[in-house]
Homo-oligomer: A and B are copies of this chain.
Amino acid sequence: MTAAVAGTVLALSGGVGGAKLALGLEDVLPPGQLQVLVNTGDDFEHLGLRISPDIDTLLYTLSGRANQELGWGLAGETWQAMQALEELGGETWFRLGDRDLATHLWRSQQLASGRGLAAVTADLARRLGVRSLVYPMSDDPVATTVHSDRGALPFQHYFVRYQCEPVVTGFTFEGIDAATPNSEVMCQLRKECYRAVVICPSNPFVSVDPILQLAGLWPALRDQPAPVIVVSPIVAGQAIKGPAAKMMSELGQDASALEVARYYCARYPGLVDCFVIDTSDAKLAGEIGELGLEVAITSTIMKSRADKQALARFCLALGGA
- Using a CB–CB distance below 8 Å, which chain A residues touch chain B? 47-49, 74, 77-78, 80-85, 87-90, 97-103, 105-106, 108-109, 112, 124, 127-128
Contact = CB atoms under 8 A, between A and B. Distances in A.
B101 A88 contact: no
B84 A102 contact: yes
Contacts of A98: 78, 80-81, 84, 98, 101
A266 B101 CA distance: 48
Interface of A is mostly: helix
A127 B89 contact: yes
A77 B83 CA distance: 12
A106 B90 contact: yes
B78 A99 contact: no
Contact of A124 (B74, B77, B88, B97): B88
A214 to B, nearest CB: 28
How many monomers of this protein are in the complex?
Answer: 2
A92 to B, nearest CB: 9
B102 A81 contact: yes
A108 to B, nearest CB: 5
A-B pairs with lowest CB-CB distance, top 9: A84-B102, A80-B98, A84-B99, A85-B102, A98-B98, A81-B101, A81-B98, A47-B105, A90-B106
A81 B106 contact: no
Contacts of A124: 88
Contacts of A47: 105-106, 108-109
30 contacts: A47-B105, A47-B106, A48-B48, A48-B49, A48-B105, A48-B108, A48-B109, A48-B112, A49-B105, A77-B80, A78-B78, A80-B80, A80-B97, A80-B99, A81-B98, A81-B102, A82-B102, A83-B99, A84-B99, A84-B102, A85-B106, A88-B102, A88-B103, A88-B106, A88-B128, A90-B102, A90-B109, A98-B98, A98-B101, A101-B101
Nearest to A79: B98
A184 to B, nearest CB: 23
B78 A80 contact: yes
A105 B80 contact: no
A47 B110 CA distance: 9
A29 to B, nearest CB: 26
Given A81-B101, A84-B99, 11 more contacts: A47-B105, A80-B80, A80-B98, A81-B98, A81-B99, A81-B102, A85-B102, A85-B106, A88-B127, A88-B128, A89-B127
A80 B84 CA distance: 14
